[in-house]
């Protein structure tokens, strides 16, 4: 199982790396003339670290050569042995013969070379005027697995609907309705009270008496008011 997973990862890596290499360095330049005029070599701050990483990659490859090729090879074989010490007690390591190793390495190498040739041959024809034929898997990858579309459908669009509900129903009808309703009530009350100001003294006197009666009704109980009027009349 680990072998198949490793081969699958190697094939995908070979494909996208040589796709990147082909689109970048092979074929015609797909940018504008202005962009082509400003092309230049990367500065030493980028080149030197890449050289160091390349050398370390070569060294890492050599010290990891299997024992099937050189005696006492694969120096990294026991590098993580302390980490997997407990797991080896559950399941003992299964060692393959050199012939099986040759077959597995040869198969993986042939598949990787085939994928590299396929990537170079496919994307070397790529141009802005005539794009490579878009297959179903190509469209899927080109649209980034439709993650953005799924995100918009599941999260963005429902949030827009909820925001529209809050704006049109809660804010306009609820919050604004209450605030504007208070203002309309005050305006209506002022228009009605304006009718009371007729300029007649008798009307003002009647209103004053009614206000005094209401005051007594609020601050005194009913018996006190009855006794008060009995004393008067």
Single out the residue in 133, 162, 195 at which a domain terminates: 133
Structure confidence at residue 228 (pLDDT): 61
Single out the residue in 99, 133, 167 at which a domain terminates: 133
Q: What distances in angstroms separate CA 192 from CA 188, 195, 212, 217, one per listed residue?
A: 6, 6, 21, 24
CB 67 within 8 A of CB 73: yes
Tokens 């228009």 correspond to what residue? 191
Single out the residue in 133, 158, 185 at which a domain terminates: 133
Count of domains forming the chain: 2
Q: Is residue 27 part of a domain?
A: yes
**Tell me: the pLDDT tens digits for 65-94?**
777 677 776 777 777 778 777 776 666 666
The reply to whether 112 and 214 lie within a common domain is: no
CA-based nearest residue to 22, from 108, 134, 116: 116
Question: What CA–CA distance (Å, rounded) separates 36 from 59?
Answer: 36
Question: What CA–CA distance (Å, rounded) separates 130 from 174?
Answer: 56
Structure confidence at residue 151 (pLDDT): 95
Determine phi and psi for 91, rounding to 5 degrees.
-140, 120
The reply to whether 24 and 116 lie within a common domain is: yes
The reply to whether 169 and 67 lie within a common domain is: no
Is 196 strand, coil or helix? coil
The reply to whether 129 and 157 lie within a common domain is: no
Positions of the chain with pLDDT lower than 50, given as ranges: 129-130, 132
The reply to whether 199 and 174 lie within a common domain is: yes
Structure confidence at residue 134 (pLDDT): 56
CA-based nearest residue to 15, from 85, 117, 130, 91: 117
The reply to whether 30 and 123 lie within a common domain is: yes
Structure confidence at residue 117 (pLDDT): 95
Please state the separation of Cα 31 from the chain's center in Å: 29
Structure confidence at residue 160 (pLDDT): 95
Structure confidence at residue 232 (pLDDT): 60
Domain containing 58 equals 2-133
Q: Quote the crossing angle between the two packed helices 2-25 and 98-123, to the nearest 10°.
A: 30
Structure confidence at residue 164 (pLDDT): 92
Q: Is residue 22 part of a domain?
A: yes
Determine phi and psi for 109, rounding to 5 degrees.
-65, -45
Sign of the C-alpha dihedral, residues 27, 28, 30, 34? positive
Q: How many CB atoms lie within 10 A of CB 115?
A: 19
């Amino acid at each position: 199982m680990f072998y198949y997973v490793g081969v699958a990862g190697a094939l995908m890596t070979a494909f996208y790396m040589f796709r990147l290499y082909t689109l970048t360095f092979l074929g015609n330049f797909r940018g504008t003339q202005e962009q082509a005029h400003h092309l230049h070599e990367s500065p030493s701050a980028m080149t030197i670290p890449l050289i160091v990483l390349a050398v370390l990659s070569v060294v890492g490859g050599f010290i990891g050569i299997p024992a099937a090729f050189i005696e006492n090879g694969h120096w990294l074989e026991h590098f993580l042995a302390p980490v997997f010490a407990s797991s080896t007690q559950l399941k003992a390591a299964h060692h393959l013969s050199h012939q099986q190793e040759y077959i597995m390495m040869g198969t993986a190498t042939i598949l990787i070379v085939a994928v590299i040739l396929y990537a170079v041959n496919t994307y070397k024809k790529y141009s802005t005027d005539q794009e490579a034929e878009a297959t179903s898997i190509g469209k899927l990858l080109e649209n980034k697995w439709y993650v953005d579309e799924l995100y918009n459908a599941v999260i963005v669009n429902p949030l827009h609907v909820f925001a529209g509900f809050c704006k049109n129903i809660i804010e306009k009808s609820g919050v604004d309705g209450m605030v504007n309703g208070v203002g309309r009530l005050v305006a209506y009350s002022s228009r009605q009270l304006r009718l009371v100001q007729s300029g007649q003294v008798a009307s003002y006197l009647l209103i004053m008496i009614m206000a005094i009666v209401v005051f007594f009704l609020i601050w005194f109980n009913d018996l006190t008011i009855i006794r008060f009027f009995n004393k008067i009349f």
